[in-house]
Amino acid sequence: MSRRPVILICAPDEELRAALRAALSGSDREVREVTTPTEAVAVLGGGGVDLVIAEGLSASGAIGSLRAARRDESVPILVVAPYGDVEARIAFLEAGADDVIERGFARRELDSRVHAMLIRTGAVAPDPTTPGTGQLIAFFSPKGGVGTTALAVNCAPSCPAGVPGRSPAHEWSSSTSTSNSARWPPTST
C-alpha cells in the first residue's frame, strides 16, 4: 500500500485549524498542524509533506519562506484568505501561493481543491470513476483528411450523451424553437 498523503496545516487560529482538521482527517490523509510559519518551515525542512494549507501569513515574507523551505519543489501551498478580501487573494497568488481559498469555504470545495492539488503533485492517483474521464474517439483518413471533418462534426452530438449531468444528443438536436439550428447547451423551456 502506498503512503498516505501528508497535509501540513499552518494557522494561528485554533477554530480554523479545527475546521480544516475535521474536513481533511477522515479521508485517508495524514494531517499535521503548526501555529506559526517558523514551525512550518521546520516541518517542511524535514520533508515528507505533500501539501501546505496556511492562514495568517503576510503575503510577502511568509509564503516565500515556506516555498524556500520545501525539500520537494512540487509541494503546493494553499492559502486561506480573509472572507471577501479580493486584494488579499491576489496578493497571496502574486507572492507565490499555488491556490487561494476564501475563509468560510464549503467543506466540499476544500476537499476538491486539496484532492486536485494532490493529484497534480502525484501524491494521489486520480479516481478512474471521476466525472471527466472518458473515451477518446479519433478520426483518421488515409486521404489526408478528406471527409474526416464531416465525420467528426456529425458524430460530435452523440459524445455528450454518456457524460453524467449532460443531456443526450436527441434532447437538444430537435430544437423546440422556430429555428432549425441545434443549440448547445440546451435552453430550458
Rounded distance between C-alpha atoms, residue 78 and residue 139, angstroms: 41
pTM for this predicted structure? 0.64
Please provide the size of the chain in residues: 189
Q: What is the pLDDT of residue 33?
A: 93
Average pLDDT score over the chain: 75
CA 72 vs. chain centroid, Å, equals 20
Does residue 31 lie in a domain region?
Answer: yes
CB atoms within 10 A of CB 76: 21
Are 113 and 149 in the same domain? no
pLDDT tens-digit readout, 5-42: 999 999 988 999 999 998 887 768 889 999 988 898 88
Residue-number span of the structural domain to which 159 is assigned: 130-189
Q: What is the pLDDT of residue 3?
A: 78
Number of domains in the chain: 2
Does residue 1 lie in a domain region?
Answer: no
Q: 39-53, 67-81, 159-173: which range is least confident on average?
A: 159-173
